[in-house]
Amino acid sequence: MPSNTNSINILLAPNAFKNSLGADEVAAALAEGLKQSGIEATINCCPVGDGGDGTGKILASHLKARKRIYKTVDPFGRPITAPVYYTSDQTAIIELSDASGLKLLQPIEYNPLRANSYGTGILIKKALDRKVKRILLAIGGSATVDGGTGMLTALGIRFLDREGTAIQKLPQDLTQLQNIDLSGMDARLQLTELVILCDVKNKLLGPNGAAKIFGPQKGATAENIRVLEKSQKRLDKIVHQTSGIKMSSLPHGGAAGGIAASLAALCNAKAVNGTNFFLDIIRFDNLLQGADIVITGEGSLDAQTLEGKAPLGVAKRAKNASIKVIGVSGQLDSVNQKLLYYFDQLININPTKTSLATSLKNTRINLVKTGIQIGKLIKTSWV
């Protein structure tokens, strides 16, 4: 550590706080608190993502991408507009949740038997129209468990029943799937690199699969989960017959209700660990150089964080560079020894016994207070 506060360099690299603040807003609030603490330091903000909701926007900011707004549809086919971001090296960045996300729906509307990803397929076509060389698709926050069938339908693939008729109600009627017609698939997909940023490792089927783990978050009842699992099994079987690839065997295949698996199996897409891809593309290791302390975090730091979420990736790289790491969150598993291995300090931004609704409402205020607390901690303990 430096010998005086004048030479302290603090890197703020938080993820989004789900249902509350984006990663950039979290970083700004922490920076405000640090400044209020009176600490003399250089503070650099580097909001991060892992493929979860908000990753696309943050990545576009880092890469100085330009935004274009397009007409598309929401998970129920209602007209909306959504952005696609374009970089100078002919890369398009698309956020699945902007067209097919839970954030577009009222909780009373959640219905994964009806919600599909067609609107995101429209955005992919818009990117292809601009002759991009690469598409980066961040798939967190989806409202769907449709195995990507809505998106693929928009891209020209037809999902046919036993009569040879295209199935209209996706994913509800996928149990009737008999054949997949690839003859109309947009040929430009084969000429374009498609990278899917995933924030979970779950495979498509089974007790840790798309329907059983993520279905309830999207409004699925126990009966809905049974139907969705059956639909995904049917899709897995017919995709295997069509492409020779088992969707159910692919890592990250359960992400966003099976979207990662279907795009990999039918469109030669590459599903990747979103955290590592994000940190590599923004050259995070270079940003670490010269930093004395790194502050990261997200809405909850717990066992899920250890599955590869952004704060873990940040903490690992900081630890490898012998830099102290502070983790902040709204919910904290403070006795998790694995977390304590990666973080020098863990801080819950909320007062004890605070309700979730109150915590979400006061996230920004409490992050500023936490920034003040951290500034004082650094001055008294780490200098």
Residue 374, H or E segment: helix 363-381
Ramachandran bin of 64, using left for φ above 0, alpha for ψ from -120 to 50, beta for the remaining angles: left
- Provide the pLDDT for residue 93: 98
- Provide the pLDDT for residue 352: 79
- Distance (Å, whole) CA 340 – CA 353: 23
For residues 69 and 116, state if they share a domain: yes
Token representation of residue 48? 């991060």
Quote the distance between the C-alpha of residue 325 and its chain's center. Answer: 22
Nearest CA to 231 among 298, 172, 297? 172
Q: Which of the 8 DSSP states describes residue 344? A: S
Nearest CA to 124 among 157, 102, 146? 157
For residues 220 and 242, state if they share a domain: yes
For residues 139 and 255, state if they share a domain: yes
Q: Answer yes or no: are the C-beta atoms of 172 and 143 closer than 8 Å.
A: no
Q: Which residues contact 201 (CB under 8 A, 6 or more apart)?
A: 251, 252, 307, 308
For residues 102 and 186, state if they share a domain: yes
**Residue span of the structural domain in which 309 resides:** 5-48+283-381
Query: Which amino acid, one-letter code, is at 10?
Result: I
- Final residue of a domain: which of 251, 275, 299? 275
- Final residue of a domain: which of 229, 259, 275? 275
For residues 83 and 197, state if they share a domain: yes
- CATH code for the domain in which residue 301 is found: 3.40.50.10350
Could you give the number of structural domains in the chain?
2
- Final residue of a domain: which of 275, 295, 314? 275
- Provide the pLDDT for residue 25: 96
pLDDT block averages, 10 residues each, the chain of length 383: 62 93 96 94 95 94 97 98 97 97 95 96 98 96 95 97 94 95 95 94 91 92 95 96 94 91 94 96 94 95 88 96 95 82 92 82 94 91 65
For residues 16 and 94, state if they share a domain: no
- CATH code for the domain in which residue 142 is found: 3.90.1510.10
For residues 231 and 326, state if they share a domain: no
- Distance (Å, whole) CA 109 – CA 140: 19
- Provide the pLDDT for residue 204: 93
- Distance (Å, whole) CA 31 – CA 153: 45
For residues 271 and 287, state if they share a domain: no
For residues 90 and 40, state if they share a domain: no
For residues 59 and 202, state if they share a domain: yes
Cα dihedral value 237, 243, 246, 252, nearest 10: -120
For residues 44 and 69, state if they share a domain: no
Nearest CA to 28 among 63, 64, 58? 58
For residues 190 and 308, state if they share a domain: no
